[in-house]
Amino acid sequence: MRTRRKVLNLTALVGVAVLLILIAIVYGARVSSARSEQLASSVFEIGLTQLKVSRVFTSLLEAESSQRGFLVTHDEAYLAPFNAARNDLHASLPGLEDQLAKLDPSLVPPSMDELRTLVERKFAELDETVALARQGRTSEALAIVRGNLGLDLMARARQIVDEELATLSAFRTRRVAEMQDSARNLALLTTLGVMSVVLLSLFAAAMVFQYNKQLDQAQQKLVAANDELEFRVDERTRDLQTANEEIQRYAYIVSHDLRAPLVNIIGFTKELETAMTSFAPLLASPGLDRDDPAVAPALRAIDEDIPEALRFIEVSTARMDGLITAILNLSRLGRLPLKPEDLDLNALTMDCIASLQHRINEEGAVVAIEGRLPRIWGDRRILEQVVGNLLDNAVKYLSSDRAGRVVVRGRRVGGNVLIEIEDNGRGVAPSDQDRIFDLFRRAGKQDRPGEGIGLAHVRALVRRLGGEIAMKSDGTTGSVFSITLPSDLRRALSKGVVNV
C-alpha cells in the first residue's frame, strides 16, 4: 500500500512537471510566432520600399528615353511615358521619405533633399529640350542633350539611389537574421522541452514498470484466495500496461529526429494531444487525492488549459506557415521569368470560372462574362492567378441578402487592356479601400477564412506585368476591381517598362 501511494504521488508530480514544461513551450511558441510575423512583415515592407527607390531612377530613365524619342521623331505620342514618369515621381517622392522613416529613421538618407533637387533639375532640362523641339529649334535641343549636365545629373541620381538600395539591403539582411535567430531560439526551447519530457516520461515509465512487477508478485500470492480479487487485479494490471505502452510510444515519438522549427511545432502539437491520454488513467486512480493542491492544477490544466493552448499553436503555426509562404512567393515575383504568349482572355476566364464552379454552385451564385473579352499578349500563369484569385474573392464575400452575381468584362483602351470584375457582394467601406491591397490587412467583417494575403499577391502579380489594379465600392452593394495591363507584354518588355 505504501509503495502504491508512493508511485501515485511520484507519477502525479511527474505529470505536473510535464504540464509546466508544455505550458512553457506553448508560451515560447506564441511569443516566437508573434515576433516572426512582425519581422516577416518588416522584410516585405523593406522589399517594397526597395522597389520604390529603384523606381525613382527608372522613371528618370523612362522620361529621358521618351524625350529622346520625341526629339528624333517630333511625335507627341513619345511624350506619354515622359509625362507619366513626371507624374509618378511627383506622386511617389513625397511619400518615399515618410515610408523610409516609418521603417527606421536611420534609413532616411541625408541626400534625399539633393535627390529631389536632381529630379527637378533633370525635368527642367528635359522640359527645355522638348520646348525647343516644339519650336523647331531641334539643333539647340540636341546641343543641350550632348552637354554633360544631363549626364552628370543622372550619374549623381544613380549614385544616391544605389547607396540607398545598399542601405535597405543591409537593413533587410539584419531583419532576416533576426527571423533566423527567433526560429533557432524556438527550436532550442522546443528541443530542451522535448528532452525534459522524454526524461520525465522515462522516469515515470520506470516507476510504473517497477510497480507492475510488485503488483504481479502480489497477484500470484492472491490468485488462489479470491476470484473476484483476481479479476480486479488483472483489470488494474491491464490498465497499468496500457499506460506503460502509451508512455513508451510517447517517448518514441518525442525522441524522433526534429525537423525544421515550424514543422517541429506542428508535429509536437499532435504528439502532445496523444500524450495527454497517457496521464489520464494515472491521475484518475482511486487512490489519488483530487483535492490535493499539488494535483488540482494539473487536472484543471488537462481539462482546460492544455487543449486551449494546443488549439492556439495549431492556428498560429498554420498562419505563420501561410505568411512565410506568401512572403517567399512575393519575394520571388521579381525573379519570376515572364513568358509572353497570345492569349484568349475569354477562354482563360472561362477556365477560371470552371475551376470555381463547385463553390459558385454552393453559394447559389452566377458568374458571367459580359460581351467578349479581348485577346492579349501576356503570361498565362500570372493571368490565371490574377483572374482566379479575384473571382474567388468575389464569390467568398457575396452578400447573404441577395442572389450573388459576378460579371467579368474587358476592352482595349489605347495600348492597354482593361479588365473589370464586378460583384454585388458586401462591398468595401471607403475607409478600408486604401488598405485592402496591403499585406496582412483585411477589411469588413472577419467571418471568412483568410490572412489578408490574396489581394496583396494579386497586386504584386499585376505590377509584375507592368499593370495596375484598383477598386471602387459604395461599401454596401458590391465592388468593381479594375485591372489595366499592357495589351502586348512583348512590347512592354522591349521598352523596358517590364523587366524580364
pLDDT at 259: 43
Say which DSSP state 488 is in.
Answer: B
Provide CB contacts within 8 A for 427, sequence distance 6+. 473, 474, 475, 476, 477, 478, 479
CA distances 50 to 44, 99, 395, 417, Å, are: 10, 11, 34, 28
pLDDT in tens, 241-280: 453 344 334 333 333 344 456 666 777 677 777 776 666 6
Joined together, the cell numbers standing for residue 282 give: 494515472
pLDDT at 84: 84
Tell me which architecture the domain covering 340-495 has in CATH.
Answer: 2-Layer Sandwich (3.30)
Joined together, the cell numbers standing for residue 500 give: 524580364
pLDDT in tens, 436-453: 887 666 665 665 655 667
pLDDT at 254: 35
pLDDT in tens, 115-160: 788 888 888 888 888 888 888 888 888 888 887 777 788 888 888 8
pLDDT at 498: 61
pLDDT at 261: 64
Contacts 24+ apart (CB under 8 A), 268-271: 268/25, 268/190, 268/194, 269/310, 269/313, 269/314, 269/317
- For the chain, residues with pLDDT lower than 50 are 233, 237, 240-241, 243-259
pLDDT at 104: 79
Cα–Cα nearest to 459, from 404, 358, 390, 372: 390
pLDDT at 450: 57
User: CB of 279 within 8 A of CB of 237?
Assistant: no
CA distances 424 to 398, 405, 432, Å, are: 7, 6, 18
Say which DSSP state 148 is in.
Answer: S
Q: Does an H or E element contain 426, and which?
A: none
